[in-house]
Amino acid sequence: MDHPRPGLRYVDADDLESSTIDFDGMDVESTTGEKLGDVDGFVIDLASSRPFYVVVNAGGWFTSKYFLLPVGHVGLDPSNRKLVADVPRDRIRNYPGFDRDEFAQLSDDELNSMDERMIASCCPDELTDRSKWGTRYEYSSHYRSPSWWDGSYYRPDRADTAARSMGSASSLSASSTTMPSRDEVRAERDREVVTARESTAGDVSPHFGRRAQPGDVLGVETGGEQTHVGDTSDDENKRRESAEKAGRKDRR
């Protein structure tokens, strides 16, 4: 099995639509105010565009860098820009760690085992029925669809940064199955931005987004003539004739 569930994917919070809510780096706390970490991303079902887990960067207190919070245990406090989990830190200490690089290779049984450990830690009085694990995302309160989530936050037609980098980064061989780290993804994106800027050096527009507009001067040609965005050949000929006439007047 290539994936614990078809269409289940880790998505970096930085790749979500942030015009309404910016989840990237959002604080995650318990209901008693304990800092649990920051939002790193979500494990999302691409078919429904909704999350099943919040991926939390623990910031050093946990045994692993990341851990998962089943989304049914998480609420949003938009006024204070934070997610609030109804699981205390001392119970999360018994959670399994989450490895982004290995997630895509987990078998369904391995993901089931992770879920069992999380449920046993957060809700020790709850009995689990393995016969229903195949549909746990549909029936279990641990994964109920959060009211604060909007399906437009993740658009299937917009590939996430990690997927783009995996497809374009020459440093990864065709047979490689290792997902680039978050720092590598952002470094690649920064290099693309720098390359784009260097390729347009000297032809920079003062307009928003640095996009050239009709009338902008793109450069100086031989003889001091200037080329403008939107010019036709007739415009350039007229400008050249005007420049020649002005030159003759100056010589007189």
- Most distant CA pair in the chain, distance: 101
pLDDT digits (tens, 9 = 90+) for 132-150: 555 667 657 888 889 999 9
In this structure, what are the phi and psi dihedrals at residue 30, rounded to the nearest 5 degrees? -85, 170
* Residue 209, pLDDT score: 40
pLDDT at 187 > cutoff 90: no
pLDDT at 213 > cutoff 90: no
pLDDT at 24 > cutoff 90: yes
What whole-number distance in Å separates Cα of residue 39 and Cα of residue 25? 5
- What single string gives the DSSP state of each residue in 14-55? GGS--SS---TT-EEEETT--EEEEEEEEEEETTTTEEEEEE
Residue 48: band (very low, low, confident or very high) from pLDDT cuts 50, 70, 90: confident
pLDDT digits (tens, 9 = 90+) for 65-82: 999 999 999 999 989 999
Cα 207 to Cα 19, 31, 194, 195, 210: the distances in Å are 22, 47, 19, 20, 5
* Residue 106, pLDDT score: 86
Q: Are 143 and 42 in contact (CB under 8 A)?
A: no
Residue 10: band (very low, low, confident or very high) from pLDDT cuts 50, 70, 90: very high
* Residue 53, pLDDT score: 95
More confident residue, 220 or 15: 15
Residue 102: band (very low, low, confident or very high) from pLDDT cuts 50, 70, 90: confident
Return the bridge partners of 19, or none.
Answer: none
| pLDDT, mean of residues 182-204 | 55
Q: Structure tokens of 103? A: 């997630």
Residue 101: band (very low, low, confident or very high) from pLDDT cuts 50, 70, 90: confident
Residue 175: band (very low, low, confident or very high) from pLDDT cuts 50, 70, 90: very low
* Residue 68, pLDDT score: 96
| pLDDT, mean of residues 205-216 | 43
- Name the pTM for this structure: 0.62
Residue 192: band (very low, low, confident or very high) from pLDDT cuts 50, 70, 90: low
State the fold for domain 8-158. SH3 type barrels. (2.30.30)
**Which sequence spans correspond to the domains of the chain?**
8-158, 167-199, 213-251
45-49, 73-77, 218-222: least confidently modelled range: 218-222
Report which listed range, 49-53, 140-144, 189-193, 242-246, is most confident. 49-53
| Strand ranges (E), 141-222 | 217-220
